[in-house]
Chain A
Amino acid sequence: MNDRLRMPLIPGDDAGLPPGAARCPGPSVQDIVARDAMPPPQVLRESHYEFLGDTDVDYRRYTSRERYEQEMTQLWAKTWQWACREEHIPQVGDYYVYEVGPYSVLVVRTEAGIKAYYNSCLHRGTKLRPEEGMGSAQELRCPFHGWTWTLEGALKSVPCAWDFPHVKPDAYRLPEVRVGLWGGFVFVNLDDDAPSLESYMEVMPEHFRDWDLSQRYTELHMGKILPCNWKTGLEAFVESYHVLETHPQLLHGTGDANVQYDVYGDHVTRFYAVGGVNSPHLEHPLSEQELVDTMLIGDRSVVNDALVVGEGETARIVMARFLRKVLGDKYGSDLSQVSDAEMIDTIEYHLFPNMILFPGVSLPMVYRFRPLKDDPERCLFEILFLRPLPEKGVPPDPPEMVLVGEEESYSVVKALDPVLARVYDQDTANLRAQQQGFRASKKPGQTLGNYQEVRIRHFERTVDRYLARGLGKELSQ
C-alpha cells in the first residue's frame, strides 16, 4: 500500500544493535503519553522488556496429545484460574461451575463466604451439577441417588443410610478446592501446595491498585469455540504485530507498531498500545482532527459530532475528554480523574495461564482461553465486558454466556459494537489456518519477533517451566 511508511522489508540486519534492542521508527508510547493533558499513572510510565531468546518455538506444543495431557496435570491442576465473577454468585446458594479439560469445579456462595468443591459426588462420582455456568440451590443434591451436602460441604443426608454404615460423615465432606478473590474475580487452584493467589499474581495487585475491577459489573459475556489449541488462540491476542495485516482498518488511530511490550516474573506480561495517534506504518499521517474523526476506539453508540480539536490540543486529549463525559454519563460513574491513557488506550495484561484483561475504560474486556475436554486442537474463547458500577442503583444481573457458532460472525451478538465484531471475526478467522499450518509445515516451529512477540516467548517459557516440574527436566524449545 502506497500510504505506508517505507521501512526495510528484508530482515536479517541487526543494524549494530544487540538482539531485542531494535524498535519501530517513530515516537514511543512513552514519548506520546508525555504530551497528554491528564498523564497516565506511574505504572504506565515504566517499561519492562527483556530479550528472551530468538530460537524457534516447536509446533508440537500446539498439536501433541502427550503434551496436552502433561499440561492438564502439570499446568491446569497447578495454577490459579479465575472461575467466575463475584456478581455471578451474589446470594447464598448461588453457584458457578467452572470447567477446564477434564476438571470441573463447583464454586458456591455460602454463609461462610465463597467455597469451591470438586464437582463430583462422593458416592459414585456423578457431577453434582452437570452444567457449566451459573445456578442456584440451597443444598447440593446429587441427581443420581440423592446424596446431599450442605452448601458448606457437610454430608447432610443419604437415602437408605442403613446401607452405608461404612460412610462416616466426617470422611465424606466435599473436598475443597482453594479459592482466592481479587478484583471481583473468584479464582480457584486445584493444587493445595501452590503459592497464594497474591504472590502468584506478582506485580499485578500493585499495578491494579487504582484499577479496582471489583467496582465493575459484567455487561456482556460471549464465547466461541475456536478450532485451535488454547495457546494458539491466546497468542493471537497478546501481540499487536498482526494489526497491520489482519486489521488494516485500525491503522488510522492506533499506534500498532510502536506498542510497548513488558514482561514480569513468570506469570504476568502486558502490552500498552496508544490510541488517537497514527500508525507508524502510514506514510501520509492524518491530522489531529482527522484522527478524531476516524477514531475507532471507544463505544460507537455514544459517538457524536461534538469532537473538535482545539488550538494546541491532540486528538488523544480531545477523545479522552469526550469519552470521559459520555461514558461517565452512560454508566453513571465519575471518570473526571481518569487519565487520557486509561480512557482511550489499549492496555492489556496477561495473567498466566489463560486470563487476559484490560483495565481501560472504553475497552473494558476480559478474555479467557480454555482447553475443551480432551481435544488439543479446540478451545473455548470467552470475552466479557466489565463496565463501571453505577454510583446509584443496582447493576443488571450478569448475563449468561452467548455462544457464537464456530462458523458464525460475532455480529450475531446484538450488544457488541459492530466495529469490534469485525475485529474479532478477523482475529478468529486466522486460527484454523494457523493450527492446520502447524501440521502442514516442513519447518518444525514458529519464528517470533524479538520485541513485538516477546509475550508469546515469555508465555511458552512459563508453560515449559510448569511442565518441567513434572518431568524433572526442561523441555526443548
Chain B
Amino acid sequence: MSPTFHPVLAAAELPPGASKAVQIDGHNVLVGNSAGEFFAVQNRCTHQDSPLEGGRIRNGLIACPLHGVMFDVKTGCGRGQMGRVPLRTYALQVVDGQIAVSVDAPVAA
C-alpha cells in the first residue's frame, strides 16, 4: 500500500534554516529547510524529550535548543554521547510548492 502524504505547509513559508512543528495523526513532526532541502523528523529530542523546533540548522544537522545535541536531519542519527538514539525521520514530498509528509512508513535511519 502506498503511503499517504499529508500537505502541511507551503514550501515558501520555510526559508533555509527555518523549521516548524506540525501535528499529523498524532505525530509531532518537525518540518525544516536545510540549505534548500526540506526534511521531516520527530519534533522531540531523543536525549531529554525537548522540542527541536527552532534549533539552529547548519551542515545538515539540527541542534537541540536545550542542550545542543545534534542530529543529522536526513538520517536522524545523533552525535556524541547524548545523541545515541536517532530521531525518527519521515518521508516528505514537495508537490506544486506544497510540502507533504507521510507518517505511514518509517524511513530506515
Contact = CB atoms under 8 A, between A and B. Distances in A.
Q: Is A bound to B?
A: yes
A141 B67 contact: yes
A33 interface: no
Nearest to A137: B68
B65 A131 contact: no
Chain B binding site: helix, strand, loop or mixed by DSSP? loop
Interface in B56-71: 56, 58-59, 61, 63, 65-68, 70
Interface string B27-53: 000000001000000000001100000
Contacts of B82: 130-131, 143
Contacts of A130: 80-82
Nearest to B34: A397
B47 to A, nearest CB: 7
A94 B58 CA distance: 10
Contact of B68 (A129, A398, A399, A400): A129
Interface in A105-161: 129-131, 134-138, 141, 143
A430 interface: no
| Chain B interface residue bracket vs A | 10 to 19
B76 interface: no
B62 to A, nearest CB: 9
B65 to A, nearest CB: 6
B80 A131 contact: yes
Contact of B59 (A91, A131, A137, A400): A400
A132 to B, nearest CB: 9
A135 B58 CA distance: 9
B35 A135 contact: no
B63 A143 contact: no
Q: For this complex, into which size category does the number of interface residues on chain A fall? A: 10 to 19
Contacts of A400: 59, 61
A360 interface: no
A136 B59 contact: no
Contact of A137 (B35, B65, B81): B65
A137 B79 contact: no
Contacts of B68: 95, 129, 131, 135-137
Given A130-B80, A131-B80, A143-B47, A397 B58 contact: yes
Contacts of A397: 35, 58-59
Contact of B70 (A135, A143, A399): A135
Nearest to B47: A143
Nearest to A142: B67
A170 B45 CA distance: 33
Interface string A375-402: 0000000000000000000000111100
A136 B58 contact: yes
B59 A141 contact: no
Contacts of A95: 68
Nearest to B54: A138
A134 B61 CA distance: 10
A223 B68 CA distance: 23
Most B-side CB within 10 Å, residue of A135, A138, A143? A135
B56 A93 contact: yes
A137 to B, nearest CB: 5
B54 to A, nearest CB: 9
Contacts of A91: 56
Contacts of B58: 134, 136, 397
B81 A136 contact: no
Contacts of A131: 68, 70, 79-82
A129 B58 CA distance: 17
Q: Which among B47, B48, B58, B68 has the greatest number of chain A C-beta atoms within 10 A?
A: B68
A399 B63 contact: no
B79 A136 contact: no
A136 B56 contact: yes
Contacts of A129: 68
Nearest to B35: A397
Contacts of B81: 130-131
B32 to A, nearest CB: 14
Nearest to B59: A397
Contacts of B48: 143
Contacts of B66: 141
A94 B59 contact: no
A141 B64 CA distance: 11
Contacts of A141: 66-67
Contacts of B65: 137-138
Most chain A CB neighbours (cut-off 10 Å) among B67, B80, B81: B67
Contacts of B79: 131
Nearest to B62: A136
Contacts of A138: 65
Given A136-B55, A141-B66, A397-B59, 17 more contacts: A95-B68, A130-B81, A130-B82, A131-B68, A131-B70, A131-B82, A135-B70, A136-B56, A136-B63, A137-B56, A137-B67, A138-B65, A143-B47, A143-B67, A143-B82, A399-B59, A400-B59
Across the A-B interface, the 4 shortest Cβ-Cβ residue pairs: A136-B56, A131-B80, A143-B67, A136-B63
